[in-house]
């Protein structure tokens, strides 16, 4: 039968064909979208496209100025990115275009490779788009879309806030008509104050006036596109008053027509790729995270189910196309996508219409840009920068977990004082580090029943059962967390040495690997060596499957996997020792033990909470066995303080029965010069007996470590008293 392929073996040819089909399906997204298009959506999509173009056109120009690139490059990126991103993306309403954050990152990345103003500066911007697109496409085809889930929201908030400050500082110079150069944000701020007296009044009036108009329109006419209206009015004022002749800097006429192909001869210059690599990685990462955030925000309103991998492919193809057609890197735009959604867009065709309308506008309105003042665009960008700082979200993160706050502060600080690509990557690395830290240190908590005995809660103030510990493991048992969980359980055992039985609640464990299995085996072996055992409840199917396939299920025993509802009842009646409950403990933790009698000692006994802090000496079973048969000059007297019925079932040869309740009455029978070794079942009663004897002046005391449970586990001889026939 060796020539037959087993059913469970994978066929390499079938696997290869499946992978190719999966890859091909990503590129067929436009076919699927057009095939399922509802013609009733054509009119609302067309209107949404026109509305979106009104917002996107001035944004694309303004954001290109952040990157210190020609305005037409922003328009080319908006046209091509929007159309390609809509065709191959998964979101129905998202717009892919230049954004404020990516523009700032583009400038930082370009400064590592070329000098601003150089003709090569613009060509390298397109090369950067190609590099970003290639990285994003590879990540999408490799199905790495889930990686965005591991980047903390705090990275975006921290970077957006820092970028907002940098953009605002960057625009102060053109806003006020100042002339100086700066290397960083602090130097920019210093130069603004230093040259404030040189402010060009007409330029400042146009810039600040545009800001006031935009703010007033947002308050009084929220339905009107405030920024485009403010820019149009500023352009009209410049044209009518001929302010361009008075020293007001204007954009100048824009080239119209379809985006031209980029001169990509720089691809042969390998020396350019290395300095651009870090920036390309940062742009690819922040672009994908921002895109995911935009698409998810829209999906929350529409109920659309997104495909992160398809979105990665869409962003990758969009940036590749942008690079070929003389643009610079683009990403999902918060503002443009929100306008598209509010305008009633129902399908990706609305974004395609937006790109086409922007293309038409660049041809028809390009000459009018000759009078658009640079200061007016700077004013709009300052308002945009302020809007990037989400104060409510910053406050919420600050009040929340410490880890998220640290990530936000580090990313924000890095954005202000480091190279932007390093700031982004440091924030992302911190996110991964925080995720690893959280998943590798799951909490292990002891729980007890609540007042209704229906739920288990973590209540450190409530007493614990002297025999049974119930532990919640709140996290996965994989190789990174196994050691931490083992240490936590061992620490708990050390702090509660007389709890010999453990019930592990596993409902919060979604994954368990071989390292987790081996850790559990170590705990079980350690517990069984102490005369105890381990039981489990509420295992998920995937975890139980791993335990069965690894042999752990048989190692622990099928009868040790209990139902959640009947676990305590089973352990109480079939595992725990009722003598300990009755004679050793005043605590009644479970519903099943509420009606048990409580011990009534003839003297006040304060039970030690941590046996390791007790001054009473301890003997191991082996040490006691050697002492029983190798008598010293001082007589060794073994006192078994258990109940008579327990004593008769099995005791240490030569031991005397001295039940704890009657011990005080028998003190006169105990020779004062003897060395006493106190024995009970597990150790509680022997410590209590030692406390009584210490109060009466006896000092030569020791207890059997682990009691008769440890003695039996060591397989040492026992004396048994059979009833007479």
Q: Which residues are catalytic, by number? A: 680
* CB of 680 closer than 8 Å to CB of 656: no
* CB of 160 closer than 8 Å to CB of 101: yes
What tokens were used for 611? Answer: 């046996």
What tokens were used for 484? Answer: 């931490």
Backbone angles phi, psi at 672, to 5 degrees: -65, -20
* CB of 518 closer than 8 Å to CB of 548: no
Sequence-ordered list of residues with C-beta below 8 angstroms from that of 600, at least 6 positions apart, any chain: 661
Spatial distance between the Cα atoms of 314 and 295, rounded to a whole number of angstroms: 12
Spatial distance between the Cα atoms of 657 and 634, rounded to a whole number of angstroms: 20
> CB atoms < 10 A from the CB of 43, how many?
11
Which residue in the block uniquely carries the two structure tokens 């099928």? 558
Spatial distance between the Cα atoms of 587 and 607, rounded to a whole number of angstroms: 12
Nearest to 159 by CA among 435, 419, 408: 408
* CB of 169 closer than 8 Å to CB of 378: no
Sequence-ordered list of residues with C-beta below 8 angstroms from that of 284, at least 6 positions apart, any chain: 132, 135, 136, 139
- Kind and range of the H or E run holding 675: strand 675-679
Which residue in the block uniquely carries the two structure tokens 């409580």? 598
Q: What 8-state DSSP symbol labels residue 373?
A: B
- Which neighbouring-strand residues pair with 71? none
Instruction: Give the rounded distance of the alpha carbon of 149 from its chain centre.
Output: 7
Q: What 8-state DSSP symbol labels residue 724?
A: P
Nearest to 671 by CA among 639, 631, 708, 629: 639
Q: What 8-state DSSP symbol labels residue 200?
A: -
- Kind and range of the H or E run holding 503: strand 501-505
Spatial distance between the Cα atoms of 546 and 662, rounded to a whole number of angstroms: 52
Per residue in 430-440, is it b (16+ CB within 10 Å) or e — as a string?
bbeebeeeeeb
3-state secondary structure of 445: strand
* CB of 129 closer than 8 Å to CB of 97: no
- Kind and range of the H or E run holding 536: strand 533-537
State how far the alpha carbon of 423 is from the alpha carbons of 181, 368, 552, 660, in Å: 23, 39, 46, 68
What tokens were used for 44? Answer: 């609302």
State how far the alpha carbon of 96 is from the alpha carbons of 56, 65, 227, 421, 596, in Å: 10, 18, 19, 21, 71
* CB of 222 closer than 8 Å to CB of 343: no
Instruction: Give the rounded distance of the alpha carbon of 47 from its chain centre.
Output: 40
State how far the alpha carbon of 440 is from the alpha carbons of 144, 480, 619, in Å: 22, 5, 38
Which residue in the block uniquely carries the two structure tokens 């400050």? 165
State how far the alpha carbon of 12 is from the alpha carbons of 15, 247, 319, 436, in Å: 5, 70, 34, 34
């Amino acid at each position: 039968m060796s020539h037959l392929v087993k059913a469970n073996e994978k066929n390499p040819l079938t696997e290869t064909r499946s992978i190719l089909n999966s890859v091909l399906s990503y590129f067929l997204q436009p076919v699927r979208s057009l095939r399922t298009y509802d013609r009733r959506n054509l009119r609302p999509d067309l209107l949404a496209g026109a509305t979106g173009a009104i917002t996107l056109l001035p944004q694309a120009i303004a954001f290109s100025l952040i990157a210190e690139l020609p305005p037409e490059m922003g328009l080319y990126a908006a046209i091509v990115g929007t159309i390609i991103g809509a065709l191959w993306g998964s979101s129905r309403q998202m717009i892919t275009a230049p954004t404020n954050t990516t523009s700032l990152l583009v400038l930082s990345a370009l400064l590592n490779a070329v000098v601003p103003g150089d003709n090569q500066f613009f060509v390298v911007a397109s090369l950067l788009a190609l590099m970003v697109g290639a990285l994003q496409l590879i990540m999408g085809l490799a199905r790495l879309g889930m990686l965005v889930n591991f980047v903390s929201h705090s990275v975006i908030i921290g970077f957006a806030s820092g970028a907002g400050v940098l953009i605002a500082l960057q625009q102060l110079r053109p806003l006020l008509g100042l002339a100086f150069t700066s290397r960083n944000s602090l130097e920019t701020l210093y130069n603004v104050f230093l040259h404030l007296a040189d402010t060009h009044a007409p330029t400042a009036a146009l810039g600040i006036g545009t800001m006031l108009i935009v703010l007033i329109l947002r308050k009084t006419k929220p339905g009107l596109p405030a920024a485009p209206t403010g820019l149009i009015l500023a352009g009209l004022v410049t044209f009518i008053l001929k302010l361009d002749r008075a020293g007001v800097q204007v954009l100048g006429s824009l080239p119209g027509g379809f985006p031209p192909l980029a001169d990509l001869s720089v691809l042969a210059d390998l020396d350019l790729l290395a300095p651009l690599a870090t920036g390309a990685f940062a742009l690819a990462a922040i672009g994908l995270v921002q895109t995911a955030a935009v698409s998810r925000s829209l999906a929350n309103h529409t109920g659309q189910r997104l495909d992160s991998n398809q979105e990665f492919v869409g962003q990758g193809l969009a940036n590749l196309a942008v690079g070929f057609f003389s643009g610079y890197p683009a990403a999902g735009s918060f503002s443009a996508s929100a306008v598209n959604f509010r305008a009633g867009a129902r399908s990706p065709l609305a974004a395609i219409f937006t790109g086409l309308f922007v293309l038409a506008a660049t041809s028809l309105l390009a000459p009018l840009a000759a009078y658009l003042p640079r200061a007016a665009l700077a004013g709009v960008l300052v308002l945009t920068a302020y809007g990037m700082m989400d104060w409510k979200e910053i406050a919420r993160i600050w009040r929340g977990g410490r880890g998220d706050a640290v990530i936000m502060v580090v990313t924000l600080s890095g954005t202000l004082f480091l190279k932007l690509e390093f700031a982004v990557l440091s924030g992302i690395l911190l996110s991964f580090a925080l995720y690893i830290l959280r998943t590798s240190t799951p909490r292990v908590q002891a729980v007890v029943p609540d007042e209704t005995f229906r739920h288990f809660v973590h209540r450190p103030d409530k007493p614990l059962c002297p025999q049974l510990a119930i532990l919640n493991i709140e996290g996965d048992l994989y190789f990174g967390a196994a050691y931490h969980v083992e240490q936590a359980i061992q620490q708990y055992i050390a702090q509660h040495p007389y709890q010999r039985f453990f019930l592990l609640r596993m409902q919060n464990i979604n994954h368990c690997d071989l390292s987790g299995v081996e850790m559990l085996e170590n705990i079980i072996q350690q517990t069984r060596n102490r005369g105890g055992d381990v039981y489990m409840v509420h295992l998920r199917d995937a975890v139980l499957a791993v335990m069965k396939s690894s042999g752990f299920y048989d190692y622990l025993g099928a009868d040790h996997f209990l139902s959640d509802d009947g676990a305590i009842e089973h352990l109480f009646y079939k595992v725990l020792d009722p003598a300990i409950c009755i004679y050793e403990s005043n605590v009644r933790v479970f519903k099943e033990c509420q009606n048990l009698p409580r011990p009534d000692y003839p003297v006040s006994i304060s039970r030690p909470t941590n046996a390791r802090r007790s001054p009473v000496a301890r003997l191991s079973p082996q040490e006691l066995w050697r002492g029983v048969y190798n008598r010293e000059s001082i007589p060794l007297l073994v006192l078994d303080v258990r109940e008579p019925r327990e004593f008769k079932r099995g005791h240490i040869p030569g031991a005397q029965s001295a039940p704890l309740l009657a011990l005080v009455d028998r003190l006169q029978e105990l020779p004062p010069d003897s060395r006493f070794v106190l024995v009970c079942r597990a150790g509680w009663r022997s410590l209590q007996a030692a406390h009584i004897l210490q109060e009466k002046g006896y000092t030569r005391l020791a207890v059997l470590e682990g009691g008769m449970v440890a003695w039996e586990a060591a397989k040492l001889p026992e004396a048994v008293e059979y009833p007479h026939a």
